[in-house]
């Protein structure tokens, strides 16, 4: 039998239900894996060993007594340090918040626990969760387990590195501009950004977020199999009244036509030949399975990027700019100042105009999905970046922003997106992105099952 840590979450739960293993054995194997590889990778920065083993023992006693266990019973998971977990600091990678202790679980943490998932550690993020790279002055840098010269992605880089290397089969991440989808891509695993309102969010340790972040930021799972993403989404998506955007929507929507829009280079983006080839191969697979593939241009993306950045930075200037300088993290300062260069500060009328533009863009995108239920497109215009490229120079920063058009623009409309890793070029992962209308994660996962195989643990 393979090492327990190398199983997918779905396989772990099946083995537990069949009496082939125990929750303690599953957790102990994951903790031993952390001991073995985390000193090199620094993906997990807060450990939960004692609590995790106690929960595992409680599940084993309940199972022995004939009690039913939850759908994720015995499955070790990680939680990103941006999210409240009772008894742990919600650091967001900041020295300023190293003592910000949570006294209650956020909704997504509570939902995972309710499903039986066992939290074994908390994963790293860049300072302020501000980059597609993962390094901060409190916890240090996370290393990509597939290739240390590449970024592990960000801001959920710790989660993706942990999943890829076997430190838990499912990692919790958050995504306001690609922070689930891009780390999954960079570390060669799969990642799902759910729709706005699908997975409830709330941090009691912080003030309520302003409207832009409310509309764009979501929590979602990172995993080595599409089946595990489906399992985790089902657990995460239980509505919670603490989140005013939380919606009790069905996880399976009505039947949809099998029309797939293929977009190789949205709005003239420069797209690496290896990514173009991966998109063509994915389209061929879909067509062979009965999908009608049409190569089209999607609704505006660059305009969505401009609105997203202006909205995001307007709020950050008001609430976070001073904190960035107080924290003194050089990466965060460089990124913040360059983002400000890309996003002029609007006046009140300009701020209100952003929402009128957003409304039009949402309408255009939803009309597009009425014709084409799924869009197949790049995750990024480039293969995973060299680590810390964004802070190498102003021109490098600008190139990163351009390549990440699809990471930045799509969250403005609250849309779900799925990164599917499809292969590698040497030690560099390559994959594709699937996008659908609001609350149609089921379409993404169904097509993801076709395009993305279960991925072995690296290392």
Catalytic site positions: 80, 155, 179
**Contact indicator for 160, 184 with CB cutoff of 8 Å:** yes
Beta pairing, strands 135-136 & 374-377: unpaired
Measured distance CA(231)–CA(58) in Å, rounded: 22
Measured distance CA(156)–CA(134) in Å, rounded: 8
- Tell me the sheet residues that pair with 423: 430
Measured distance CA(439)–CA(262) in Å, rounded: 20
- Count the Cβ atoms, other than its own, within 10 Å of residue 345: 12
**Contact indicator for 165, 199 with CB cutoff of 8 Å:** no
The alpha carbon dihedral of 340, 344, 345, 350 has a sign of: negative
Beta pairing, strands 218-223 & 170-175: antiparallel
Beta pairing, strands 259-262 & 118-123: unpaired
The answer to whether the bond into 155 is cis (omega within 30° of 0) is: yes
Placement of tokens 């799925």 in the chain: 418
Kindly provide the residue ranges of all beta strands, DSSP E only, lying in 194-258, ordered along the sequence: 218-223
- Count the Cβ atoms, other than its own, within 10 Å of residue 272: 17
Measured distance CA(154)–CA(140) in Å, rounded: 13
Measured distance CA(247)–CA(241) in Å, rounded: 9
From the list 380, 401, 133, the residue with the least C-alpha distance to 265 is: 380
* Residue 342 phi, psi dihedral angles, 5° rounding: -80, -15
Measured distance CA(57)–CA(63) in Å, rounded: 10
Measured distance CA(434)–CA(261) in Å, rounded: 10
Q: Is 379 helix (H, G, I), strand (E, B) or coil?
A: coil
From the list 113, 355, 117, 108, the residue with the least C-alpha distance to 243 is: 108
389 DSSP assignment: G
- Which residues, 6+ apart, have CB-to-CB distance to 36 below 8 Å? none
**Contact indicator for 194, 147 with CB cutoff of 8 Å:** no
């Amino acid at each position: 039998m393979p090492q327990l840590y190398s199983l997918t979450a779905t396989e772990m739960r099946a083995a537990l239900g069949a009496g082939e293993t125990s929750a303690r054995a599953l957790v102990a194997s994951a903790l031993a894996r952390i001991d073995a590889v985390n000193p090199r990778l620094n993906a997990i920065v807060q450990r939960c060993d004692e609590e995790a083993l106690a929960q595992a023992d409680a599940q084993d006693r309940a199972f022995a007594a004939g009690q039913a266990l939850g759908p994720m019973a015995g499955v070790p998971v990680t939680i990103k340090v941006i999210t409240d977990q009772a008894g742990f600091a919600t650091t967001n990678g900041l020295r300023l918040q190293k003592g910000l202790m949570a006294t209650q679980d956020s909704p997504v943490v509570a939902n995972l626990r309710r499903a039986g998932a066992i939290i074994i550690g908390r994963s790293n993020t860049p300072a302020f969760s501000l980059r597609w790279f993962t390094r901060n002055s409190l916890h240090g840098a996370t290393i990509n387990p597939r290739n240390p010269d590449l970024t592990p992605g960000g801001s959920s880089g710790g989660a993706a590195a942990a999943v890829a290397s076997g430190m838990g089969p499912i990692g919790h991440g958050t995504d306001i501009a690609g922070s689930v989808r891009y780390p999954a891509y960079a570390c060669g695993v799969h990642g799902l950004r759910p729709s706005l309102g699908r997975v409830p969010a709330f941090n009691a340790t912080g003030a309520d977020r302003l409207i832009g972040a409310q509309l764009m930021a979501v929590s979602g799972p990172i995993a080595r199999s599409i089946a595990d993403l489906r399992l985790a989404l089902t657990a995460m998506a239980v509505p919670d009244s603490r989140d005013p955007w939380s919606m009790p929507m069905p996880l399976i929507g009505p039947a949809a036509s099998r029309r797939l829009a293929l977009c190789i280079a949205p709005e003239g983006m420069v797209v690496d030949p290896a990514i173009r080839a991966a998109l063509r191969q994915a389209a061929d697979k879909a067509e062979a399975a009965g999908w009608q593939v049409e190569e089209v241009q999607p609704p505006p993306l660059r305009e969505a990027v401009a609105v997203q950045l202006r909205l995001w930075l307007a709020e950050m200037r008001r609430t976070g700019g001073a904190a960035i300088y107080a924290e003194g993290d050089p990466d965060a300062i460089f990124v913040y100042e360059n983002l400000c260069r890309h996003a002029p500060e609007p006046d009140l009328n300009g701020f209100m105009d952003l929402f009128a533009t957003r409304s039009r863009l949402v309408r255009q995108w939803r009309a597009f999905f009425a014709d084409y239920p799924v869009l197949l497109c790049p995750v990024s215009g480039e293969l995973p970046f060299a680590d810390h490229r964004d802070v190498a120079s102003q021109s490098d920063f600008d190139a990163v922003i351009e390549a990440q058009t699809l990471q930045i623009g799509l969250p403005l409309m609250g849309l779900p997106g799925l990164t599917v890793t499809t292969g590698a070029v040497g030690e560099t992962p390559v994959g594709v992105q699937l996008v659908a209308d609001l609350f149609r994660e089921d379409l993404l996962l169904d097509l993801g099952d076709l395009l993305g195989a279960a991925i072995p643990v690296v290392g």
